[in-house]
Structure 1
Amino acid sequence: MAPTTFLHHFADLAFDWLDVPALIRTAREAYVYPMVDRDPLPRWTHGAVTLLGDAAHAMYPMGSNGATQSIVDARVLARELALRDSLTAALAAYEAERLPALTRIQASARRRGPEVVIDLAHQRAPGGFEDVAEAFPGVELQSISEEFARLGGFDPETVNTRPSLAVPTGTGGLR
Protein backbone atom coordinates (compact mmCIF):
# COMPACT_ATOMS: atom_id res chain seq x y z
CA MET A 1 0.00 0.00 0.00
CA ALA A 2 1.24 3.49 -0.72
CA PRO A 3 2.01 5.33 2.52
CA THR A 4 0.15 8.42 1.28
CA THR A 5 -3.08 6.37 1.22
CA PHE A 6 -3.54 6.85 4.96
CA LEU A 7 -1.52 10.05 5.46
CA HIS A 8 -4.67 12.10 6.14
CA HIS A 9 -5.20 10.17 9.38
CA PHE A 10 -1.89 11.52 10.70
CA ALA A 11 -1.86 14.99 9.13
CA ASP A 12 -2.04 16.78 12.49
CA LEU A 13 0.66 14.75 14.22
CA ALA A 14 3.59 17.10 13.67
CA PHE A 15 5.45 17.94 16.86
CA ASP A 16 8.62 19.88 17.57
CA TRP A 17 10.41 16.61 18.15
CA LEU A 18 8.66 14.38 15.58
CA ASP A 19 6.98 15.07 12.24
CA VAL A 20 4.81 11.99 11.65
CA PRO A 21 3.42 13.14 8.26
CA ALA A 22 6.98 13.65 6.98
CA LEU A 23 7.95 10.17 8.13
CA ILE A 24 4.98 8.70 6.29
CA ARG A 25 5.67 10.70 3.10
CA THR A 26 9.27 9.43 3.00
CA ALA A 27 8.40 5.78 3.58
CA ARG A 28 8.82 3.53 0.56
CA GLU A 29 6.14 1.07 1.60
CA ALA A 30 3.41 0.59 4.21
CA TYR A 31 1.84 -2.61 5.43
CA VAL A 32 -1.73 -3.05 6.53
CA TYR A 33 -2.20 -4.88 9.81
CA PRO A 34 -5.92 -5.03 10.46
CA MET A 35 -7.18 -5.39 13.98
CA VAL A 36 -9.10 -8.64 14.15
CA ASP A 37 -12.30 -8.73 16.11
CA ARG A 38 -14.86 -11.45 15.82
CA ASP A 39 -18.27 -11.91 17.33
CA PRO A 40 -18.18 -14.28 20.31
CA LEU A 41 -18.56 -17.91 19.30
CA PRO A 42 -21.51 -19.88 20.66
CA ARG A 43 -19.19 -22.81 21.41
CA TRP A 44 -15.50 -23.64 21.26
CA THR A 45 -15.55 -27.41 21.42
CA HIS A 46 -16.38 -29.69 18.50
CA GLY A 47 -15.95 -33.35 19.34
CA ALA A 48 -12.39 -33.95 20.53
CA VAL A 49 -11.18 -30.52 19.37
CA THR A 50 -11.43 -27.27 21.27
CA LEU A 51 -10.21 -23.73 20.78
CA LEU A 52 -8.32 -21.46 23.12
CA GLY A 53 -6.72 -18.03 22.95
CA ASP A 54 -7.37 -15.87 19.91
CA ALA A 55 -8.83 -18.83 18.02
CA ALA A 56 -11.62 -18.97 20.61
CA HIS A 57 -12.00 -15.28 21.42
CA ALA A 58 -10.30 -12.88 19.02
CA MET A 59 -10.52 -9.36 20.39
CA TYR A 60 -8.98 -5.95 20.11
CA PRO A 61 -5.76 -5.86 22.14
CA MET A 62 -6.95 -3.77 25.04
CA GLY A 63 -5.18 -4.13 28.35
CA SER A 64 -3.17 -7.17 27.20
CA ASN A 65 -6.25 -9.34 27.56
CA GLY A 66 -5.59 -11.43 24.46
CA ALA A 67 -2.32 -12.72 25.89
CA THR A 68 -3.36 -12.98 29.52
CA GLN A 69 -6.65 -14.70 28.79
CA SER A 70 -4.91 -17.18 26.47
CA ILE A 71 -2.63 -18.16 29.33
CA VAL A 72 -5.60 -18.59 31.65
CA ASP A 73 -7.38 -20.66 28.97
CA ALA A 74 -4.40 -23.00 28.79
CA ARG A 75 -4.20 -23.33 32.59
CA VAL A 76 -7.92 -24.07 32.92
CA LEU A 77 -7.84 -26.56 30.06
CA ALA A 78 -4.81 -28.33 31.56
CA ARG A 79 -6.50 -28.47 34.96
CA GLU A 80 -9.70 -29.93 33.52
CA LEU A 81 -7.76 -32.52 31.51
CA ALA A 82 -5.96 -33.55 34.69
CA LEU A 83 -9.10 -33.71 36.83
CA ARG A 84 -11.63 -35.34 34.51
CA ASP A 85 -11.93 -38.98 33.56
CA SER A 86 -12.96 -38.29 29.97
CA LEU A 87 -11.92 -35.89 27.27
CA THR A 88 -15.56 -34.97 26.67
CA ALA A 89 -16.07 -33.99 30.32
CA ALA A 90 -12.78 -32.05 30.44
CA LEU A 91 -13.55 -30.04 27.32
CA ALA A 92 -17.10 -29.34 28.46
CA ALA A 93 -15.91 -28.11 31.87
CA TYR A 94 -13.24 -25.88 30.27
CA GLU A 95 -15.74 -24.32 27.88
CA ALA A 96 -18.38 -23.88 30.59
CA GLU A 97 -15.93 -21.93 32.74
CA ARG A 98 -14.16 -19.84 30.11
CA LEU A 99 -16.67 -19.07 27.34
CA PRO A 100 -19.08 -16.85 29.36
CA ALA A 101 -16.21 -14.89 30.93
CA LEU A 102 -14.49 -14.32 27.59
CA THR A 103 -17.72 -13.25 25.91
CA ARG A 104 -17.95 -10.44 28.50
CA ILE A 105 -14.30 -9.50 28.00
CA GLN A 106 -14.73 -9.37 24.22
CA ALA A 107 -17.63 -6.95 24.66
CA SER A 108 -15.50 -4.79 26.96
CA ALA A 109 -12.63 -4.75 24.45
CA ARG A 110 -15.04 -3.52 21.78
CA ARG A 111 -15.82 -0.58 24.04
CA ARG A 112 -12.02 -0.07 24.23
CA GLY A 113 -11.62 -1.62 27.65
CA PRO A 114 -9.58 0.59 29.95
CA GLU A 115 -8.42 2.67 26.96
CA VAL A 116 -11.87 4.27 26.88
CA VAL A 117 -10.32 6.95 29.08
CA ILE A 118 -8.42 8.27 26.03
CA ASP A 119 -11.69 8.94 24.20
CA LEU A 120 -13.34 10.40 27.30
CA ALA A 121 -10.41 12.72 27.95
CA HIS A 122 -10.55 13.99 24.37
CA GLN A 123 -14.32 14.56 24.56
CA ARG A 124 -14.20 16.28 27.92
CA ALA A 125 -11.06 18.34 27.43
CA PRO A 126 -10.32 18.65 23.71
CA GLY A 127 -7.81 21.43 24.40
CA GLY A 128 -5.99 19.36 26.98
CA PHE A 129 -5.75 19.78 30.74
CA GLU A 130 -3.20 20.42 33.43
CA ASP A 131 -4.66 18.02 35.96
CA VAL A 132 -6.43 14.76 35.11
CA ALA A 133 -9.12 15.66 37.67
CA GLU A 134 -10.32 18.32 35.21
CA ALA A 135 -11.50 15.55 32.87
CA PHE A 136 -12.16 12.80 35.42
CA PRO A 137 -13.74 13.91 38.65
CA GLY A 138 -13.67 11.86 41.82
CA VAL A 139 -12.78 8.21 41.49
CA GLU A 140 -13.96 7.69 37.91
CA LEU A 141 -10.54 6.64 36.56
CA GLN A 142 -10.13 4.20 39.40
CA SER A 143 -13.63 2.82 38.77
CA ILE A 144 -12.91 2.25 35.06
CA SER A 145 -9.68 0.44 35.88
CA GLU A 146 -11.29 -1.66 38.60
CA GLU A 147 -14.18 -2.71 36.35
CA PHE A 148 -11.79 -3.84 33.63
CA ALA A 149 -9.72 -5.81 36.15
CA ARG A 150 -12.90 -7.43 37.51
CA LEU A 151 -14.04 -8.47 34.03
CA GLY A 152 -10.61 -9.90 33.26
CA GLY A 153 -10.48 -11.77 36.55
CA PHE A 154 -7.35 -10.06 37.80
CA ASP A 155 -8.88 -7.79 40.42
CA PRO A 156 -7.55 -8.37 43.96
CA GLU A 157 -10.78 -9.96 45.22
CA THR A 158 -10.92 -12.56 42.44
CA VAL A 159 -7.19 -13.29 42.53
CA ASN A 160 -7.21 -13.76 46.30
CA THR A 161 -10.37 -15.87 46.57
CA ARG A 162 -10.62 -18.07 43.49
CA PRO A 163 -9.64 -21.70 43.74
CA SER A 164 -6.14 -22.61 42.63
CA LEU A 165 -5.64 -23.96 39.14
CA ALA A 166 -3.08 -26.40 40.53
CA VAL A 167 -3.87 -30.07 40.36
CA PRO A 168 -3.09 -32.18 43.42
CA THR A 169 -0.53 -34.95 42.88
CA GLY A 170 -2.11 -38.31 42.27
CA THR A 171 -5.34 -36.86 40.86
CA GLY A 172 -7.06 -39.07 38.30
CA GLY A 173 -7.53 -37.42 34.94
CA LEU A 174 -6.98 -38.67 31.43
CA ARG A 175 -4.34 -41.29 30.87
Structure 2
Amino acid sequence: MAGKKQEKDIPMIQTVTPLDHYRLHIELGSGSVLELNMENRLRTNRYCDLNSDAVFRSAVTDGTKIIFATGDNDELEIFAREAVGMAMKAPGESVCILHIQPLENGRLRLEMKSGSTLTLNMENRLHTIRYSPLKEPEVLQSVSTDGENLFFGDVLNIDAEELTNLALTVPPAVKENEAK
Protein backbone atom coordinates (compact mmCIF):
# COMPACT_ATOMS: atom_id res chain seq x y z
CA MET A 1 0.00 0.00 0.00
CA ALA A 2 2.92 2.36 0.59
CA GLY A 3 3.71 2.36 -3.15
CA LYS A 4 0.14 3.42 -3.99
CA LYS A 5 0.28 6.21 -1.42
CA GLN A 6 3.59 7.49 -2.82
CA GLU A 7 2.21 7.42 -6.39
CA LYS A 8 -0.83 9.48 -5.36
CA ASP A 9 1.42 12.09 -3.73
CA ILE A 10 3.22 12.82 -7.01
CA PRO A 11 1.24 15.41 -8.99
CA MET A 12 0.64 14.66 -12.66
CA ILE A 13 1.88 18.17 -13.52
CA GLN A 14 4.91 19.24 -11.48
CA THR A 15 5.43 22.71 -12.97
CA VAL A 16 4.20 24.88 -15.82
CA THR A 17 6.17 27.82 -17.19
CA PRO A 18 4.88 30.14 -19.93
CA LEU A 19 7.47 30.72 -22.67
CA ASP A 20 7.64 33.09 -25.62
CA HIS A 21 5.54 32.46 -28.74
CA TYR A 22 2.65 30.95 -26.75
CA ARG A 23 4.51 27.87 -25.59
CA LEU A 24 4.24 26.17 -22.19
CA HIS A 25 7.09 24.23 -20.58
CA ILE A 26 5.38 21.49 -18.58
CA GLU A 27 7.26 19.11 -16.27
CA LEU A 28 5.21 16.00 -15.65
CA GLY A 29 5.24 13.72 -12.61
CA SER A 30 6.45 10.87 -14.82
CA GLY A 31 9.74 12.70 -15.36
CA SER A 32 8.75 13.56 -18.93
CA VAL A 33 8.81 17.14 -20.19
CA LEU A 34 6.32 18.64 -22.62
CA GLU A 35 6.85 21.88 -24.50
CA LEU A 36 3.31 22.60 -25.64
CA ASN A 37 2.76 24.91 -28.61
CA MET A 38 -0.48 26.81 -27.94
CA GLU A 39 -0.12 29.25 -30.86
CA ASN A 40 -2.13 27.00 -33.18
CA ARG A 41 -5.07 27.05 -30.72
CA LEU A 42 -5.45 30.81 -30.19
CA ARG A 43 -8.06 31.28 -32.91
CA THR A 44 -10.47 28.81 -31.32
CA ASN A 45 -13.35 29.84 -29.06
CA ARG A 46 -12.04 27.70 -26.21
CA TYR A 47 -8.56 29.26 -26.13
CA CYS A 48 -9.12 32.78 -27.52
CA ASP A 49 -8.58 34.34 -24.05
CA LEU A 50 -4.96 33.17 -24.24
CA ASN A 51 -4.29 35.82 -26.91
CA SER A 52 -3.87 38.22 -23.98
CA ASP A 53 -0.25 38.00 -22.87
CA ALA A 54 -1.30 38.66 -19.26
CA VAL A 55 -3.75 35.75 -19.32
CA PHE A 56 -1.26 33.40 -21.00
CA ARG A 57 1.49 34.30 -18.51
CA SER A 58 -0.89 33.66 -15.57
CA ALA A 59 -0.52 29.88 -16.09
CA VAL A 60 -0.21 27.90 -12.86
CA THR A 61 -0.91 24.30 -11.91
CA ASP A 62 -2.67 22.55 -9.07
CA GLY A 63 -0.99 19.27 -10.05
CA THR A 64 -3.82 17.92 -12.20
CA LYS A 65 -4.45 20.81 -14.57
CA ILE A 66 -3.05 24.07 -15.92
CA ILE A 67 -5.08 27.10 -14.86
CA PHE A 68 -5.17 30.50 -16.57
CA ALA A 69 -6.82 33.47 -14.84
CA THR A 70 -9.02 35.01 -17.55
CA GLY A 71 -10.46 37.80 -15.38
CA ASP A 72 -13.60 38.41 -13.33
CA ASN A 73 -12.86 35.25 -11.31
CA ASP A 74 -13.06 33.14 -14.48
CA GLU A 75 -10.48 30.51 -15.28
CA LEU A 76 -9.49 28.45 -18.29
CA GLU A 77 -8.35 24.93 -17.39
CA ILE A 78 -6.37 22.41 -19.39
CA PHE A 79 -6.08 18.95 -17.85
CA ALA A 80 -2.84 16.99 -18.19
CA ARG A 81 -4.23 14.39 -20.63
CA GLU A 82 -5.70 17.19 -22.74
CA ALA A 83 -2.31 18.97 -22.86
CA VAL A 84 -0.54 15.81 -24.08
CA GLY A 85 -3.32 15.24 -26.63
CA MET A 86 -2.96 18.81 -27.89
CA ALA A 87 0.77 18.25 -28.31
CA MET A 88 0.25 15.04 -30.26
CA LYS A 89 -2.43 16.42 -32.60
CA ALA A 90 -2.53 19.75 -34.38
CA PRO A 91 -6.11 21.13 -34.58
CA GLY A 92 -8.16 19.11 -37.06
CA GLU A 93 -5.34 16.59 -37.59
CA SER A 94 -4.56 13.07 -36.46
CA VAL A 95 -1.54 12.13 -34.34
CA CYS A 96 1.60 13.07 -36.22
CA ILE A 97 5.10 12.46 -34.87
CA LEU A 98 7.52 14.10 -37.30
CA HIS A 99 10.82 13.09 -35.74
CA ILE A 100 12.05 10.97 -32.86
CA GLN A 101 15.50 11.05 -31.31
CA PRO A 102 16.84 8.70 -28.63
CA LEU A 103 18.66 10.53 -25.83
CA GLU A 104 20.73 9.40 -22.86
CA ASN A 105 19.22 7.67 -19.82
CA GLY A 106 16.32 6.03 -21.63
CA ARG A 107 14.78 9.27 -22.87
CA LEU A 108 13.18 9.90 -26.24
CA ARG A 109 12.60 13.34 -27.81
CA LEU A 110 9.54 13.48 -30.05
CA GLU A 111 8.80 16.43 -32.35
CA MET A 112 5.15 16.72 -33.31
CA LYS A 113 3.40 18.31 -36.29
CA SER A 114 1.60 20.54 -33.77
CA GLY A 115 4.93 22.31 -33.13
CA SER A 116 5.18 20.73 -29.68
CA THR A 117 7.94 18.50 -28.33
CA LEU A 118 7.78 15.73 -25.77
CA THR A 119 10.84 14.37 -23.99
CA LEU A 120 9.60 11.00 -22.82
CA ASN A 121 11.31 9.60 -19.72
CA MET A 122 11.54 5.81 -19.99
CA GLU A 123 14.44 5.42 -17.53
CA ASN A 124 12.38 4.19 -14.56
CA ARG A 125 10.35 1.82 -16.72
CA LEU A 126 13.29 -0.16 -18.04
CA HIS A 127 13.08 -2.61 -15.12
CA THR A 128 9.55 -3.67 -16.14
CA ILE A 129 9.07 -6.71 -18.35
CA ARG A 130 7.39 -4.76 -21.16
CA TYR A 131 10.13 -2.13 -21.53
CA SER A 132 13.21 -4.12 -20.44
CA PRO A 133 14.39 -4.62 -24.06
CA LEU A 134 15.06 -0.86 -24.16
CA LYS A 135 17.94 -1.39 -21.72
CA GLU A 136 19.94 -2.49 -24.74
CA PRO A 137 21.34 0.64 -26.39
CA GLU A 138 20.93 -0.79 -29.90
CA VAL A 139 17.21 -1.41 -29.29
CA LEU A 140 16.63 2.12 -27.98
CA GLN A 141 18.65 3.57 -30.88
CA SER A 142 16.56 1.59 -33.40
CA VAL A 143 13.44 3.65 -32.67
CA SER A 144 11.42 4.75 -35.68
CA THR A 145 7.92 6.08 -36.28
CA ASP A 146 5.19 5.88 -38.89
CA GLY A 147 3.82 9.18 -37.59
CA GLU A 148 1.49 7.60 -35.04
CA ASN A 149 3.39 4.73 -33.42
CA LEU A 150 6.90 4.10 -32.11
CA PHE A 151 8.74 0.99 -33.31
CA PHE A 152 11.85 -0.47 -31.70
CA GLY A 153 12.85 -2.89 -34.46
CA ASP A 154 10.67 -5.98 -34.18
CA VAL A 155 11.03 -6.01 -30.38
CA LEU A 156 8.50 -3.42 -29.17
CA ASN A 157 5.72 -1.20 -30.57
CA ILE A 158 4.12 1.72 -28.68
CA ASP A 159 0.90 3.27 -30.00
CA ALA A 160 -0.39 6.80 -29.36
CA GLU A 161 -2.57 5.83 -26.37
CA GLU A 162 0.29 3.99 -24.67
CA LEU A 163 2.59 6.92 -25.43
CA THR A 164 0.13 9.28 -23.73
CA ASN A 165 -0.06 7.00 -20.69
CA LEU A 166 3.73 6.78 -20.50
CA ALA A 167 3.98 10.57 -20.51
CA LEU A 168 1.36 10.98 -17.78
CA THR A 169 1.75 8.09 -15.36
CA VAL A 170 4.31 7.82 -12.62
CA PRO A 171 6.58 4.83 -13.33
CA PRO A 172 6.37 1.90 -10.93
CA ALA A 173 8.88 2.12 -8.11
CA VAL A 174 12.03 0.10 -8.58
CA LYS A 175 12.24 -2.56 -5.92
CA GLU A 176 15.46 -2.36 -3.94
CA ASN A 177 16.60 -5.87 -4.91
CA GLU A 178 15.91 -5.22 -8.63
CA ALA A 179 17.96 -2.03 -8.61
CA LYS A 180 21.15 -3.89 -7.65
Scaled by the length of structure 1, what TM-score is found?
A: 0.26
Q: Find the structure with the greater CA-based Rg.
A: 1
Q: Which has the higher contact order (CA 8 A, sep 6+)?
A: 1
Task: Specify which structure has the higher proportion of strand.
Answer: 2
Scaled by the length of structure 2, what TM-score is found?
A: 0.25
Task: Specify which structure has the higher proportion of helix.
Answer: 1
